[in-house]
Chains A and B, each alone.
Chain A
Amino acid sequence: GQSLEQPSEVTAVEGAIVQINCTYQTSGFYGLSWYQQHDGGAPTFLSYNGLDGLEETGRFSSFLSRSDSYGYLLLQELQMKDSASYFCAVRDGGGGFKTIFGAGTRLFVKA
């Protein structure tokens, strides 16, 4: 089957850097994505890694190591508006495509 592990909560101060880790287990790995969800809102796409290495999009970066079944999301220059839940998601191509989400990491940004 598939499973993803990520921390349930992370707290950081405004202006700091925070890293949210994600380990996964899947049979037909196709790629790792990250989504942000504010309370009462819909998840929104942040980044995708299909190959090993770092992808940078503004203040957000995402890393993938397929050999370690591990990835992380790095948020720099934290702002209060970054307080949200962050989900890693594995795109599994085995037996037909599907995207499996982790349980989410709740990020609290303090002033």
Chain B
Amino acid sequence: KAGVTQTPRYLIKTRGQQVTLSCSPISGHRSVSWYQQTPGQGLQFLFEYFSETQRNKGNFPGRFSGRQFSNSRSEMNVSTLELGDSALYLCASSLDPSNTEAFFGQGTRLTVV
């Protein structure tokens, strides 16, 4: 079956703009998490969604938001982009929150200029 799909794969935006990233989880998976990855910082937790509800949120400013749709697809939005938002944004899906194995997409590489 298809894996986790993230679109777009690459994105270049200008400071001050906003961006929306999309994640389609593996079929049947209802839990979706988002991470920001920058060199040397590992994966920083952004948020986790299950059944269209945000279950948890990391320590990121309010400019970072997300949502999950009834088909489990998820989007995250970053408004008023800053240079420091340049990163690889990864989405991971799992069957449900208690499931311990997460499957990652290839990520969206966002560059803010």
Chain A residues in contact with chain B, CB under 8 A? 30-31, 33, 35, 41-45, 48, 50, 87, 89, 91, 95-104
Contacts and interface: CB of A to CB of B under 8 A. Distances in A.
12 contacts: A35-B104, A41-B106, A42-B104, A43-B92, A91-B100, A97-B48, A98-B55, A99-B33, A99-B45, A101-B35, A103-B40, A103-B41
B26 interface: no
A31 B43 CA distance: 17
Contacts of B101: 33, 45, 48
A31 to B, nearest CB: 5
Given A43-B104, A98-B55, A104-B42, 8 more contacts: A43-B90, A43-B92, A45-B103, A87-B43, A96-B97, A101-B35, A101-B42, A103-B40
B76 interface: no
A83 B49 CA distance: 32
Nearest to B59: A1
A65 B1 CA distance: 35
Interface string B86-113: 0000101000011011111111000000
